[in-house]
Structure 1
Amino acid sequence: MKKLNVLFRYSVFVGALIFFSCSKEEKLDVDITQYNIDAPVKSELDNWIKSTLTDPYNIELIYRFDRNETDPERNISPIELERVKPTVEAILYTYLKVYESVAGKAFIKQYTPKQFVLYGSPSYNTNGSITLGTAEGGRKVVLYELNELNFSNAAQVRRKMRTIHHEFTHIINQMIAIPPAFEQVTKGDYEADWTNNTSNPESVSRSLGFISRYARSAPGEDFAEVVAHLIVEGQLYYDNYAKASGADAYSKLKRKEALVVDYFKQYFNIDFRELQKEFAKVVVERYNENQAFSLGYWLRQGTLISGIKIDPLAVYNSKYPTSEAFNAVYENVRAGIAAVGNANRRLDNIEFQFGPNNQLEVVVTYTNTAGTTYLANYSYNYSINAENEITFTKVEQRGTSGAYANASTIGSGVTALQTYLTSNTFVLDWIHDVEAIDFTNVGGFYVKGDPSNYVFGNIIKQ
């Protein structure tokens, strides 16, 4: 909601009758400009802000306490001085440069707010909620609760930057309105009293197809919340949330996502997937984020990612370099399967199917000379630690017929793969420097200490 703060200043001059007992006069030689509190002496921090934010982006930063920059009736505390610079750096790298790298300098200079105001405490509302940020008139963003922000905690940094991406979405929505089709997805389900735990608990808003309780408050907030969550929490979080919300909610959340992606492309020529990728890159590299955008983290959750499929004929193999070390293993298996019984079977692909209780089935797909395709299952257990290191242990086969019988038939041909998996510790990771369309969709694992020795394929989601 656009806010307008009007400040009326009154100057009252009071005349006083002064009597002097003599005619002696004394000239006061005082330079009152030294005491102008409206223009404090520029500090090293001020100069850094000017060169980092103001000069390149034409953005004013207000961090010295000024009650008139927010609702004067609220008790707000100033931001602690030592938190100003890391806050500016977070704004710069996780917002300004993300958009600049994807949409270009002209876009960010045209649409970015021209003033950021920083406060240390939250802004408390009468309904029990707190305001973390506001966007006013498309030109000003106010951020609150900065004194509680731990910049060594990636999750906290992301949460605060989610506020900025949310507010910036409001700004661009003032330039180009939200598509009417977006509101239609959950029309009739919006609830202005979104903090009401009876009418809008998290379970209800989620089941109706909202990414957060606040998203249900109005279509504009809904749109901004979808944008902010997709960028800051990431695609895997969004997909996992949608999947766990039920079939009806899933379809609505994915429809909203599609409309957001189309909005950015159609009206601003921005590849939204590139925004997601750039943001993830920043928080991983600068803030050591090892969960939200981590393949290992999501595999450990067991709720979204179910497998990795290695297919030499898949498109990604022509787009990204493969590992010579693993190619040698794959070629050994290919030749080994063909040699079993001199039957000249053809290896088609290998899929790692991750199941519950750390169970893994390595499924080898092959075709005989008659053109019939078979599956061969090999049973393993796996273990993943907090550093995303994964180890594989061969266990007794979990069956004897069907795919397990096929595994016995061609078993001697896959020895090289079993040796490779059980004799190394691996690190789960995405393939870096991929196109935006492949981000979080192509990944695998590499031998610990040897990133050039890696396995990668399509990520299979449940």
Structure 2
Amino acid sequence: MKNIVKLIILMLSVTCFYQCQSDDTNAQFVAPENPDISSANDQYLYDNDGKSLFETYGTATRWRWNDNFIDPDERATPIEADFVIPSTKIVEYLWAGPYASTGIDADAFIKDLFPAELVYMGSYIFNEDGTVKLGFAEGGARVTLLNMNDLDFQNREWLTDPSGGILATVHHEFSHIVHQNHDIPVGFNTISESYLGNGWSNGVSRDDAIKLGMVRNYGTLNEYEDFCEIISHLLVVDKDTFEEDFINQEDCTTYTDAGEIVNCRELNEGRQLISQKVDLVVDFYKNNFNVDLLAVRDSLQTRLDKVIEMNGIPE
């Protein structure tokens, strides 16, 4: 049983952006004492030789359609039964597994904070106003994973796209669970001079975000989304690409146009801020939880390569 601290909703607009919304509530989720294990899916989820999500994390997984999981003005498609076990293997192997594989303390960390309830849906959730939810978490008690009927083990974009890939979504949401329980590193919110609030969606490009010291436009909303975006990008984007895009200093002497030189310098200044945040976050995880976030990243990337190569989750 875990307390719901906030309601965090992850949304994707028609222009492929998403945002988190909060609602302070104090409800509770209680895992079922006698879960239904009438199908092969439920046996895997609840009674799998001591290795199921329920047995390992106390996590109940909802895959049968229930109208209560969406608002009356929303539309969505149920997950197809054949995708339930593969979806769960993604959760086990590419979300929880990279933590559990890197040490006893990291294993305890993920078990302590892993959400008590997962909900699978086959499509995104479509709203009447034209927005589309990517997935959402309710204060660490329930995480809803969407678009699972498009599951494709060889589609790296479906898996890792920072603006909506399933791994980017779950690791972003799990980072919210972390800061809801343990706050963010001291000084993190002062590294960048200011956040844009709701202005994050007013035409802010990725380069604009980098210049402000954030990895994505949504991270400019506030320090909490910045924290979650830093972590999800660090883990899900491959190391070389992450460092090339967000850490390494570009040689601005290769440019001759004055505007390009200024742009290069501003990007480099922003990358210095991102580098400071990454160092602070890595130290925060190490000092507070004895979790090596870079080792988690390496484990996730190794596992991801195997999944894509094998077109499935290794047994």
Q: What is the TM-score when the length of structure 1 is the normalising length?
A: 0.52
Residues in 2 aligned to 1:192 and 1:237: alpha-carbon distance in whole angstroms: 28
Deviation at 1:65, TM superposition (A): 1.2
Secondary structure of the corresponding residue to residue 194 of structure 1: helix
> 1:270 and 1:41, CA in 2 relative to 1: closer, same or farther beyond 3 A?
closer
Aligned length: 257
Single out whichever of 49-58 and 268-277 deviates more from structure 2.
49-58
2:31 is aligned to: none
- Which structure's residues are more often helix, by fraction? 2
Deviations 1:232-258 (A, max 9, x none): 113222211124672111111111111
Q: What amino acid is the match of 2:136?
A: T
**Consecutive unaligned residues in structure 1, runs of 5 or more:** 8-38, 290-462
2:65 is aligned to: 65
| 8 Å contact kept, 2:192–2:212 | yes
> 1:124 and 1:5, CA in 2 relative to 1: closer, same or farther beyond 3 A?
farther
Deviations 1:394-431 (A, max 9, x none): xxxxxxxxxxxxxxxxxxxxxxxxxxxxxxxxxxxxxx
1:250 is aligned to: 271
Secondary structure of the corresponding residue to residue 102 of structure 2: helix
Q: What amino acid is the match of 1:208?
A: L
Deviations 1:111-135 (A, max 9, x none): 1111111112223467755332222
Residues in 2 aligned to 1:210 and 1:176: alpha-carbon distance in whole angstroms: 21
Picking from 292, 300, 304, the partner of 1:271 is: 292
Deviation at 1:56, TM superposition (A): 2.2
Q: What are the within-5 Å matches in structure 2 for residues 29-108 of structure 1? A: 42-50=38-46, 51=48, 52-104=52-104, 105-108=107-110
Residues in 1 aligned to 2:241 and 2:128: alpha-carbon distance in whole angstroms: 31
Identity %: 27
Picking from 282, 287, 293, the partner of 2:308 is: 287
1:120 is aligned to: 122
Deviations 1:72-106 (A, max 9, x none): 43112211222211111100001111111224343
Picking from 180, 190, 193, the partner of 1:184 is: 190
> 1:77 and 1:61, CA in 2 relative to 1: closer, same or farther beyond 3 A?
same
Residues in 1 aligned to 2:233 and 2:26: alpha-carbon distance in whole angstroms: 33
Deviation at 1:194, TM superposition (A): 2.3
Deviation at 1:259, TM superposition (A): 1.2
> 1:191 and 1:42, CA in 2 relative to 1: closer, same or farther beyond 3 A?
same
Q: What are the within-5 Å matches in structure 2 for residues 38-437 of structure 1? A: 42-50=38-46, 51=48, 52-104=52-104, 105-124=107-126, 129-158=131-160, 159-197=165-203, 200-242=204-246, 243=248, 246-288=267-309
| 8 Å contact kept, 2:79–2:149 | yes
**Consecutive unaligned residues in structure 2, runs of 5 or more:** 1-5, 8-22, 28-34, 251-263, 311-315
Secondary structure of the corresponding residue to residue 133 of structure 1: strand
| 8 Å contact kept, 1:129–1:195 | no
Residues in 1 aligned to 2:200 and 2:129: alpha-carbon distance in whole angstroms: 10
> 1:232 and 1:218, CA in 2 relative to 1: closer, same or farther beyond 3 A?
same
> 1:122 and 1:222, CA in 2 relative to 1: closer, same or farther beyond 3 A?
same
Residues in 2 aligned to 1:127 and 1:166: alpha-carbon distance in whole angstroms: 25
The one of the two structures with greater contact order (alpha-carbon pairs below 8 A, sep at least 6) is: 2
1:32 is aligned to: none
CA RMSD, 1 decimal: 2.6
Q: What is the TM-score when the length of structure 2 is the normalising length?
A: 0.74
Secondary structure of the corresponding residue to residue 134 of structure 1: strand
